Amino acid sequence: MFLVRLDLQYFAGEKTEKATPKKRQDSRKKGQVAKSADVNTAILILVVFLLLLFVGGFMRDKMLLLFKHSFQEYMLLDLTEKRIEQIFLEVSLEAAIILGPVMGIALVAGVAANLMQVGFLFAPESIQMKLNKLDPIQGFKRIYSIRAIVEMLKSILKIGFIGTIAFAVIWYNLNDILRLSQVGIGHSLQTIASVTVQMGLFSAAALLFLSVLDYLYQRYDFEKNIRMSKQDIKDEYKKTEGDPLIKSKIKQRQREMAMQRMMQDVPNADVIITNPTHYAVAIKYDENKADAPYVVAKGVDFMAQKIKELAKEHDIVTVENVPLARALYSQTEIGDIVPEEFFKAIAEILAYVYRLKQKI
């Protein structure tokens, strides 16, 4: 029996269930999301080299013009404080024009890659200072964990795969590379730029392919890490919805308070219509509150007996009418006006009660 109980506790604590929406939301607030850094790197490299492919000629011309201007004009100027400031501003502006497109497209690509993976995420909790991160034992466990080994194998795979792609591009252009010593500087630079862009584009495409696989692995690992046990789900439900036992006690207390208020209104009733044993409905007519008689209390069995006893203590007239008592109990709630089809019967009963009170 003891072993069976231990087995049940083990299976109850085993994380086999998918994470609930609340668990996912809490993890997101902590910055814990499925994200692959390789996707950002691949997209960044790809768009930068695509930019170089299309605007590389413009950047080359601007750089050559800057070098030419520097050697033909700046080198011949007399250096003064004013001219050094002017040269610095002009060179900085030209450098910004050359590098601006690359920096801009890199920034856009980095933001877009993050939005593609996790959407807009602001998680200040993830950058808070936590002293437990300085624990050398925990650091050792992170370094020599299964996850660290997997990351190392992934890195080796990426280096080998991308290195093979780069080698293939160089091997394909080997003849042009070997002739660099026999051609002019301009042609050499053009050949080197062409080979570099080819290597960048093919390597970025290869890394993008690997990053997709890495992203799928990161999603799998993330889903595995945020799994919940059946007990975790029960505890979360209790926190969000409240403990069922406490909720039932609250409802019971609310019913008791409602019954207490109802019983307090019984002495103000004009008449009690009964079954006579099973049902009791207290009716009152107050023209200042409603245009027709309304129900101030009702009960069945034990509660009906309590209403009749309270009515007897306060000399409230009790009238036995089986069908009317049953109908009022089933069709009305406390505070409701009596349905129109019962107006005649209620009016006759109230008239009888008023005549009886006048005689008394």
- What 3 state SS string does 46-111 have? HHHHHHHHHHHHHHHHHHHHHHHHHHHCHHHCCCCHHHHHHHHHHHHHHHHHHHHHHHHHHHHHHH
pLDDT for residue 149 is more than 60: yes
Identify the band that residue 6 occupies on the pLDDT scale cut at 50, 70 and 90. Answer: very low
Output phi, psi for 194, to 5 deg.
Answer: -65, -45
Among 33, 344, 53, CA closest to 194: 53
Mean pLDDT along residues 309-328: 84
Cβ count within 10 A of residue 252: 10
Q: Specify the pLDDT at position 67.
A: 84
Average pLDDT across the chain, whole number = 80
For residue 171, which amino acid is it?
W
pLDDT for residue 198 is more than 80: yes
DSSP state string for 236-290: HHHHHH--HHHHHHHHHHHHHHHHHHHHHHGGG-SEEEE-SSSEEEEEE--TTT-
Identify the band that residue 259 occupies on the pLDDT scale cut at 50, 70 and 90. Answer: confident
For residue 226, which amino acid is it?
I
Using one digit for the tens of pLDDT, what is the confidence trace for 332-346? 888 888 888 888 888
Mean pLDDT along residues 68-96: 84
Mean pLDDT along residues 316-323: 85
Q: Specify the pLDDT at position 327.
A: 85
Percent of the chain with pLDDT over 90: 1
CB 23 within 8 A of CB 228: yes
Q: Scan for tokens 């293939």, then name that residue.
A: 168
Q: Specify the pLDDT at position 171.
A: 92
Q: Can you tell me the distance from the alpha carbon of 288 to that of 269, in angstroms, rounded to the nearest whole number? A: 15
pLDDT for residue 4 is more than 70: no
Percent of the chain with pLDDT over 70: 86
Using one digit for the tens of pLDDT, what is the confidence trace for 171-195? 998 888 888 878 887 788 788 888 8
CB 262 within 8 A of CB 296: yes
CB 311 within 8 A of CB 318: yes
pLDDT for residue 82 is more than 80: yes
pLDDT for residue 330 is more than 80: yes
Mean pLDDT along residues 5-29: 65
Q: Specify the pLDDT at position 97.
A: 87
Instruction: Assign 19 to helix, strand or coil.
Output: coil
Identify the band that residue 128 occupies on the pLDDT scale cut at 50, 70 and 90. Answer: low
Q: Can you tell me the distance from the alpha carbon of 109 to that of 45, in angstroms, rounded to the nearest whole number? A: 9
Q: How far is the first Cα of the chain from the last one, in angstroms, to the nearest whole number?
A: 74
Identify the band that residue 7 occupies on the pLDDT scale cut at 50, 70 and 90. Answer: very low
